A = this chain, B = another copy of it.
């Protein structure tokens, strides 16, 4: 069942490990089959070394486990909320990667300070407001997703494929698990460079024109970057 999506989701989880974005069992990636209305997600608190495609947990969009012997990631409800609100995304990744988490903990959005950022994020990487005590004491994981969705009012999720949750850490997403993990890795690099940049110059940032030029160089109908064929 969903064999390819399980493999792709596992591979996205492992990419987070290879790139140094996760420590121990931190982090999780999921992917969705829109036609089946089913989500494949990493099990909770399992060593990455031991992960196999068959350990991936399959749930429906209400969070009911449809297949899999293990508990799904404790962040499942955030993933599901994002899939329901952001209908053009195909995968979600959550990490506590160090630099992006520092921005999230500081409660600051990551401003667009250069073309590395603009190549991937068509505007600042937003940071949610802090959750209220009621939201934390209530359906906390779901409310985390709602805070992201609230913050993205008027923003195309695929044009800015990541968010910082204040006091917590980043979520990233994409068209598929490979794309979402890639965005999470670039987000961490962008966050690191932005950290150093604001220490060197607290007043800087790219122009709208440069943001557009670089973003549309890699995205949309007029993209010019890369190859049409694979070598």
> Interface of A with B (CB < 8 Å)?
23-26, 43-46, 50, 55, 69-71, 74, 96, 98-99, 101-108, 113-116, 130-131, 133, 136-137, 140, 167-169, 182, 185-186, 189, 192-201, 204-210, 213, 217, 224-229, 231
Contact = CB atoms under 8 A, between A and B. Distances in A.
Contact of A106 (B24, B96, B197, B207): B197
A186 B107 CA distance: 21
A96 B113 CA distance: 13
Contacts of A209: 133, 136-137
Nearest 7 CB-CB pairings of A with B: A45-B226, A102-B196, A106-B201, A106-B200, A105-B114, A136-B209, A133-B209
Given A74-B224, A131-B210, A137-B213, A169 B231 contact: no
Contacts of A207: 130, 133, 136, 167
